[in-house]
């Protein structure tokens, strides 16, 4: 039997606050993976483990807000 685990994913609003100039390849890739392109660019994402891991890598470059629904 396969068990399906359903988690309630919270929404997260992130906005980029720092430039990518002089940042590592990993940091640039995480910002791109989160869908951000420039300073003050904002996205609303699901709180999946993949997204949270990328946010953790570049947390010093982002403003992060949890959205209650």
| DSSP assignment string, the chain | --------PPEEEEEE-S--TT--HHHHHHHHHTT--STT-EEEEE--HHHHHHHHHTGGGEEEEEE--
Condensed to tens digits (0 to 9), the pLDDT of residues 8-62 reads 578 999 999 999 999 999 999 999 999 999 999 999 999 888 999 999 999 999 9
pLDDT interval class at 3 (50, 70, 90): low
Prediction pTM value: 0.83
């Amino acid at each position: 039997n396969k068990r399906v685990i359903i988690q309630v994913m919270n929404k997260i609003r992130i906005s980029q606050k720092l430039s990518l100039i002089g940042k590592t390849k990993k940091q640039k890739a995480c910002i791109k993976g989160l869908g951000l392109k420039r300073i003050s660019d904002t996205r609303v994402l699901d709180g999946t483990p993949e997204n949270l891991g990328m946010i953790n890598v570049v947390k010093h470059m982002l403003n992060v807000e949890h959205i209650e629904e």
